[in-house]
Amino acid sequence: MTALLRIENLSKDFSGLRVLTGINLDILEGERHAIIGPNGAGKTTLFNIVTGAYKPSDGRIFFLERDVTDLPAYKIARLGLSRSFQITTVFPKMTVYENVRNAVVSKFNRRLNWVSLLNRDKEIEARTLHTIDLLGMGDVARIAASKLSYGRQRHLELALTVARDPLLIMLDEPTAGLNSEESRDAVKVIRQISEGRTLVMVEHDMDVVFNLADRITVLDDGTILATGTPEQIRENEGVKSAYLGRK
């Protein structure tokens, strides 16, 4: 299976504080890959480096076999990588429809200066409605994002992540702040939107991780402790000791 994303010998330090050391990881095309680890293990820092928000101190990143290490975030996004954040980043005063449409428009590099023309753009309209339907948000399409429950705002953020039709979806704590029922709904949505795509997610909820992931990478103190299938990770003694704990 081809590696869609390849991370080679990646390290990061902030003013002498080493956060990541010697990270080597292949994300295979079409897989759902979870990154787990204790707080402070370097998970979000790794996400920020891959997506162009931070630059590594050492190492290289390859996406679609292209070296993207020094590219700014917007250029990496245009190659087909889309990410979410731990904190909801929707536009609260806009409707669900308008939020999703903005994300779709960004894929086409078009602007909203000519609203009357944009409203008649059938391709944008079709993709916007398809994304809303995919997330099951048709009933709230004309409601302002600020009026949605927190759980549905998180669903809307997932909609914004997939609206640009990315090759690689990166989700940072997609179930953060959700209750058990909302988390179960989020798992269904994530499974649906990642069908036929490659998914990488940072997640603390182990039920979510083991329900979704084809492979799991465990970070501990800025290094990779283990990578493997859910079954392999469950049985890994080092992982049990460092993170999952013993029952």
- Which amino acid, one-letter code, is at 217? T
- Distance (Å, whole) CA 38 – CA 40: 6
Select the highest-mean-pLDDT range: 3-12, 38-47, 84-93, 175-184: 3-12
Residue 186 lies in a domain: no
The answer, yes or no, to whether residue 102 has pLDDT greater than 80, is yes
Residue 217: closest CA among 15, 70, 16, 50: 50
| pLDDT above 80: residue 109 | no
Give residue 222's domain range: 1-78+202-247
| pLDDT score recorded for residue 87 | 56
Give residue 61's pLDDT band: very low, low, confident or very high (50, 70, 90). very high
Average pLDDT on 226-235 reads: 94
Mean per-residue pLDDT for 167-183? Answer: 91
Which pLDDT value is given to residue 40?
85
Instruction: Reply yes or no on whether the pLDDT at 66 is more than 60.
Output: yes
Strands (DSSP E) along 99-208, which ranges?
168-172, 198-202
Q: Is residue 136 part of a domain?
A: no
Answer whether residue 60 is part of any domain.
yes
CATH of the domain at 232: 3.40.50.300
Work out how many domains the chain is built from and give that number.
1
pLDDT digits (tens, 9 = 90+) for 112-169: 455 544 555 788 888 899 999 988 899 999 999 999 998 899 889 998 889 888 999 9
The confidence score (pLDDT) of residue 199 equals 97
Tell me the pLDDT band of 247, cut-offs 50, 70 and 90: very low
Q: Is the model's pLDDT at 110 over the cut of 80?
A: no
Residue 98 lies in a domain: no
Mean pLDDT, rounded, for 165-191: 91
What's the rounded Cα separation, in Å, for the pair 41 and 233? Answer: 17
In whole angstroms, give the CA distance from residue 143 to residue 152.
11
Q: Is residue 208 part of a domain?
A: yes
130: left (phi over 0), alpha (psi -120 to 50) or beta: alpha
pLDDT-derived band at 197 (thresholds 50, 70, 90) equals: very high
Is residue 191 in a domain? no
Examine residue 167 and state whether it is found in any structural domain, yes or no. no
Is 237 part of a structural domain of the chain? yes
Question: How far is CA 137 from its chain centroid?
Answer: 20
